[in-house]
Amino acid sequence: MKRYAFAITGASGSVFGIRVLEHLFRSAEVHLIISSQSFPIIEHETGIDWSAATPSAVEKKIRLFFKSKRIFYHGESDLASPLSSGSFLTDGMLVVPCSMKTLSGIACGYANNLVERAADVTIKERRQLLLSPREMPFSAIHLENMLKLARLGVTIAPPVPAFYQRPTALNEIIDFVAGKILDSMGIGHEIFTRWGS
């Protein structure tokens, strides 16, 4: 079974991360980090309250929500987590959505929290890293950080919808973005209609 690190950071668009997670844990073990700024955003945008007093209580809530034991939660300040070490093998990492603060920290190798450290490990071990930056418009600083990371082999996958499949509901737009993110990591799925299908 494959194993991925996955982070949701404090930007709008947590619904994309949740949808990718729904598909990912079906065939993989997922080690999840949620930034502290993300919990209120997730609740505001989706109505889902995963906040709790301890990381183990957060993990319990998330496992109940997804009805899966393949999700393992790590607090963002837990730099002793296995995700901090290159010897903890993963098949890659996704940050969906990725805030500009997180993107900047990763681009500079700052590793101030577990999200940034896990991404730093993913880069240094030459594993797949995908960032889904959620901001608009991008400033020159944002673009320079993305270019720097792209030159290192990081996949930059903003949540940009397409309309050739003629979506009639918001969930279809979410599924398209989630599917493109999964495609970018080479993870098979059938959650949207492909062009020519």
For residue 99, the model assigns a pLDDT of 98
Residue type, 152: L
What domains appear along the chain, each with residue ranges and CATH number? 2-184 (3.40.50.1950)
Closest CA to 4 of 32, 26, 23: 32
Does the model's pTM come out above 0.95?
Answer: yes
The predicted-structure confidence for 114-129, as pLDDT tens digits, reads as follows 999 999 999 999 999 9
For residue 165, the model assigns a pLDDT of 87
Mean pLDDT by 10 residues, the chain (197 residues): 96 96 95 97 97 97 97 98 98 98 97 98 98 97 98 98 92 96 95 84
Distances (CA, A) of 133 to 7, 30, 67, 80: 12, 20, 28, 26
For residue 196, the model assigns a pLDDT of 83
